[in-house]
Amino acid sequence: MVPHAVAIAVFCFCFFLVTLAGFFAGRWRRADLNSLEEWGLAGRKFGTLITWFLIGGDFYTAYTVIAVPAALYGTGAPGFFAIPYCILLYPYMMVVLPRLWNVCHRHGYITLADFAKGRHGSRALSIALALTGILATMPYIALQLVGMREVIAALGINGEWPLVAAFMILAAYTYTSGLRAPAAIAIVKDTMLYIMVLAAVVILPAKLGGYGHIFATAGASLATHKPAASVILKPSQYLSYSTLALGSAIALVLYPHTATGVLSAGSGRIIKRNAALMPAYNVLLALIALLGYMAIAAGIHTADTSSAVPLLFVKMFPEWFAGFCLAAIGIGALVPAAIMSIAASNLFTRNLYGELRRTPMTPHQESANAKLVSLFLKFGALAFVLFVKTQYAIELQLLGGIWIAQLFPAIVLGLFTRWFHARGLFWGWAAGMATGTSLALARDLKSSVYPFQFGTHVYAVYAAIPALLVNLVVAVAVTLLLNAMGTAHLPDQTQPGDYLPLEV
């Protein structure tokens, strides 16, 4: 008999259901999908509930479900940085994202680079931000494949064909249904995740002797690591932990897939409601993180920390429920991968290829081009995972987080002020990218935390923060210089009233 046959059957059945949902999503709120507005943003019509599921699917990916517990399994307390980072994220979302939705809706902007060009009047800045977004998103898509590969491996399925098959199906229904496909699947995925986590936090502690025993076992095991780890942060980790949380929160709002999820909402008010509702996902994430300690208490031994949670489910749950849980994680890869590929293809179509064409594209040409680019990005990520070491995808994703934070002055500050010159923002972006990249390379891309030494003291800081500070200093300096020279700002397409709610 095939090992884990029941789990595999349940896993395949769940995937079959979401595949049907993905293909039928094109008929949901039927519209002309030969328009980038409809294919790439679903016509900006999603209500509170759908937007909540969609943005949640954006933020809480398959790799999140695997990587956060894996961090606790391998390094202990520092892995919890994802919890305060999300706590910082939601007030930030409430202040920034409704203004972004308002102005983008009024001007038909589909990407953050569209907004940057309209606000700052600079084609060069728009292209720079589009390239940054695409480069930062590609390894993120690859990491969703890494998460799915871990799930498939835990089921005992040999070969890469299930991974290839799953992403061919993903490519097909994203091509036909656009953003409606991941929106429909996100509802199924999040429902399954909540069932999985609630069952895990009740059943597993009961089987493992309670939370006290779990923490005691995890603490004793982590203390044997080299270097020794702990379930409590050490004083030397405070600064790296806090700057990692802050920098990650700054960056997440600026990823292309976040913007795509936000701009698909029906109003800025819906975004505010979602910022208020999103902490429910943070409770879920905190419970998911504890699975790393549960894996230690359950005696899961693996050199690949990413496999800890899938192996935990296979060991501790009945076959049918293990298959259900692994399907929830696997489906959790499909939603963000689809949104990320759509977001990156929107950037390429609008802000790279579209900018370099001599004649503007028609809506049909835009959507056709975006669909093809979306396919290319998915299969590019698949090829990367199949033929390149997984560690490279992880390293590039760490670098991508540093890069994407460099959009903060042009986008977030640009939503509130026009003081910066476009040239200042461009050269600030270039300086920030160079600084962040050099700090990461100095650590051989093994960590995004850089140890700054001042005298006898070492301050470990998330590299995105000093890079962003350099970015801001250069942007301010160049702006002051241009003001002193009497250089005029480039034209601004937006008006102050564009940032206010439509109801006003």
Q: What is the CATH number of the domain that holds 140?
A: 1.20.1730.10
Q: How confident is the model at residue 397 (pLDDT cuts 50, 70, 90)?
A: confident
Cβ atoms 369, 344 nearer than 8 A:
no
pLDDT at 30: 65
CA distance 7 to 315: 12
- pLDDT for 498 beyond 60: yes
Q: What is the pLDDT of residue 121?
A: 93
Structural domain count, the chain: 1
Name, of 6-10, 226-230, 460-464, the range with top average pLDDT. 460-464
Report how far residue 401's alpha carbon sits from residue 253's, in angstroms, rounded to the nearest whole number: 11
Has residue 31 been placed in a domain? Answer: yes
Q: What is the pLDDT of residue 2?
A: 53
In a domain, 29, yes or no: yes
Q: Is residue 457 part of a domain?
A: no
In a domain, 445, yes or no: no
In sequence order, what DSSP letters do the residues of 274-304 get, joined into one string? HHHHTHHHHHHHHHHHTHHHHHHHTT---S-
Q: What is the pLDDT of residue 36?
A: 84
Residue 146 has pLDDT above 50, yes or no: yes
Element (H, E) at 454: strand 449-454
Mean pLDDT over 446-475 rounds to: 91
Does any domain span residue 277?
A: yes
Decide if 291 is inside a domain.
yes
Enclosing domain of residue 188: 5-355+363-389
Distance, CA of 310 to CA of 332 (rounded, Å): 13
pLDDT at residue 29 tops 70:
no
pLDDT digits (tens, 9 = 90+) for 48-76: 888 888 888 777 777 778 888 988 998 89
User: pLDDT per residue over 175-219, tens digit each?
Assistant: 888 888 888 888 888 888 889 888 888 899 999 999 999 999 999
Q: 214-250 pLDDT, tens per residue?
A: 999 999 999 998 888 899 998 888 999 999 999 999 9
* 439 inside domain: no
- Tell whether 316 is covered by a domain: yes
- Residues across the chain: 504
State the chain's mean pLDDT as an integer. Answer: 88
Token pair belonging to 73 = 């399994």
pLDDT at 296 over 60: yes
Q: What is the mean pLDDT of residues 362-366?
A: 85
CA–CA separation, 103 and 116 (whole Å): 11
* pLDDT at residue 392 greater than cutoff 90: no
pLDDT at 504 over 50: no
